[in-house]
Structure 1
Amino acid sequence: MKTKLVLIPGTQCDSRLWDKLRSLLSSDIDATHFEIPKLPINEVLLQLHKAIQSVAVEGQPVFLLGFSLGGYIASSYLASLNEGDLTLDSAINIQFFICSNTPTALPSRELRQRRRIIQNIDAKPYSGASSSRVKYMLNEIHHDDENMIQLIQSMDQKLGVESLKHQLSFTGERRDLKGVFWDVASQFSIQFLASDTDPLLNYEWLETLPSSIKVKLCKGCKHMLPLERPDFIADAVNAAVLTG
C-alpha cells in the first residue's frame, strides 16, 4: 500500500510546481495536489480535512506537505486539530512537512509589498508577476534560468488575478502559531524544510521550536524550494517513508 502525500501549493502555484519533486519521490508514494479554493481560511481547512480523510488508509501514514502559503495552511490545519475545530479519526496518522514557511507574521517588507500589489491590482489591470518579483524569490544562481522564471509567471497567469487577490488577502495578517507547535510536538511528526537564505522566513522563530521538531536548511536556493531544490524535499519525504 502506497503512502499518501497531499501537496498544498504556494501563492499562485498550480500542480506544475511539483513536477520535479514527483519525479524524485519513491515509487511507494502516491502524491495528490490540493488546489486552494477561493474560500475563507476556515473553509479552506475544512476542504483540506476532507481531502485528507478521502485518501487516508488505516495503518498507513498520510504525509501533508505545504509550500509557502501552503505551509501556513498546513500549520493552520494543525492548529484547528489542536483547538478541536476539526477532529481526526484516531486511525489516521499524519506527518507534516512545512516548506519555505514560518507560520507567524510575515516580514514587514513583504506585508508592504503585498499591500502595494493589491492596491495596484485595484488601480489598473494586472499584468502578471514581474521578473524582478520572481527573481526576489530565487537564488542568484537561478536568475538566468528562463524556464524556471517563465514557469512561475505562467502559473501566476493561469490562476489569474482573482486568485491572487484572494491568496494575498486571506492570510496577509498571519497568526503566530508557535504555541500550537509546542502543544502538538509530541503528537505529530513535523519537519520544517527551507533555504538558509529565504527573505520570507523568520529564522529566530524557527530556533524557538521544540527540539522534537526537525528543522532542515539547504543551500543553493532561496524561497522556491520545490523548483530550486526538489531533491532536498524528496530526500526528506523518502526518508520518512523508509523509517515508517
Structure 2
Amino acid sequence: MKQQLLLLPGLMCNEKLWSKMNLTNYKTFDIPREDTIDEMVEQLHISFAKHKEPINLVGFSLGGYLALKYVIKYPTRINKALIISSGIDSLKETEILKRKKMLETLKRNNINSLSFMAISQLLEDKTNEENLDIINQMFDELGLEVYNQQLFATMRRKPLFDELINVTSPIQFLSATNDSLVNLEPINKLCEMKDNFQLKTLDTDSHMLPLEYEHFLYKEIQNFF
C-alpha cells in the first residue's frame, strides 16, 4: 500500500497489539489521555493534522469506536476506515459494571497486572502464552492510572447508528461472530442500508483478532487499502 495506515489500539492496548502482523508503512497512536470521547477525537485530529491527504484509519475495539467518531465529525479527512472488534452502540450495563469491579479489585489489592481469568475472556485460545504475555505487557506498560482514565472517560458511549447513516467513506468491519463485546445486529442493519459499509466475520469468540487471527487480518488490510 502506498498511503500510510494510522492505527488506533483498544482499551489498555498499545503498539504491541499490532506486533504479530508484519505491517509496513504505518504509524501507531495511543488512546489520547483526555476526559471525554469528544476530547479524545479532537486530540486525534491534532495528531493527524500533518497527514494532508485523506487518511486511512484502522481502529481496534475502543480505537474502532473512536475512529468511527472521527469519521462522523471529520468526513472529508477520511479515505477509508477498517474497524476491528468494535460495536457501534453503547456498552452494556453489565460490561460497565464488570470493568468497574475489576478496577476496584486491582486498586484494593494493589495489583498491577490482569488476572488470567480477565485476559482469557478476550481470547479463543486461552493457552497461548505468547498472546497472554502480550496482553499483560500492554497492561503493565500503561498501568492502573491509564486504566482508570480510559475506563471512566469512555464507558458512556453514544450509539452511532443514526450518525453513520450519513457517512459516505468506505468502512469495513471485521468481527468475531461470538464476540461478547460486540453487538453485530446494528452493524448488519447498517451494512444492509449502505453500500459503503461492509462486515466480515470469523466463526470464533475471540475479541483479540490482531493477536489470534493476525494472518487473516493482514490479508484483509492489504485487500481493503
Q: Any idea what the Cα deviations from partners look like across 1:195-223, whole Å, max 9, x if unmatched?
A: 11101011222222134110010134510
Secondary structure of the corresponding residue to residue 79 of structure 2: strand
Structure 1 partner of 2:19: 19
Whether the 8 Å CA contact 2:65–2:86 is kept in 1: the answer is yes
% identity of equivalent residues: 30
CA distance in 1, matches of 2:221, 2:108: 43
Q: Any idea what the Cα deviations from partners look like across 1:91-149, whole Å, max 9, x if unmatched?
A: x542111110102111333112012123334434233211111110101xx11111111
Aligned pairs (5 A) from 1:25-44: 25=23, 30-40=25-35, 41-44=37-40
Whether the 8 Å CA contact 1:220–1:229 is kept in 2: the answer is no
Q: Report whether the alignment pairs 1:7 with 2:7.
A: yes
User: 90, 94, 97: which one pairs with 2:79?
Assistant: 94
Aligned pairs (5 A) from 1:60-139: 62-81=55-74, 88=76, 92-139=77-124
Whether the 8 Å CA contact 1:221–1:228 is kept in 2: the answer is no
Secondary structure of the corresponding residue to residue 102 of structure 1: coil
- Please give the root-mean-square deviation of Cα atoms over the aligned residues, in Å: 1.9
Secondary structure of the corresponding residue to residue 98 of structure 1: strand
User: 210, 213, 222: which one pairs with 1:226?
Assistant: 210
CA distance in 2, matches of 1:108, 1:232: 32
CA 1:121–1:130: 2 relative to 1, 3 Å: closer
Whether the 8 Å CA contact 2:57–2:80 is kept in 1: the answer is yes
User: 136, 146, 163: which one pairs with 1:180?
Assistant: 163
Q: Any idea what the Cα deviations from partners look like across 1:61-101, whole Å, max 9, x if unmatched?
A: 5210110110111111123236xxxxx4xxx5421111101
TM-score with structure 2 length normalisation? 0.90
Structure 2 partner of 1:45: 41
CA distance in 2, matches of 1:116, 1:79: 32
CA distance in 1, matches of 2:126, 2:107: 29
Instruction: Provide structure 1 residue ranges, at least 5 long, that are not aligned to the other structure.
Output: 83-87
Whether the 8 Å CA contact 2:57–2:78 is kept in 1: the answer is no
Secondary structure of the corresponding residue to residue 217 of structure 2: helix
Structure 2 partner of 1:198: 179
Whether the 8 Å CA contact 1:4–1:55 is kept in 2: the answer is no
CA distance in 1, matches of 2:88, 2:149: 18
Q: How many residues align?
A: 221
CA distance in 2, matches of 1:117, 1:42: 25
4+ residue segments displaced more than 3 Å: 121-124
Structure 2 partner of 1:85: none
TM-score with structure 1 length normalisation? 0.84
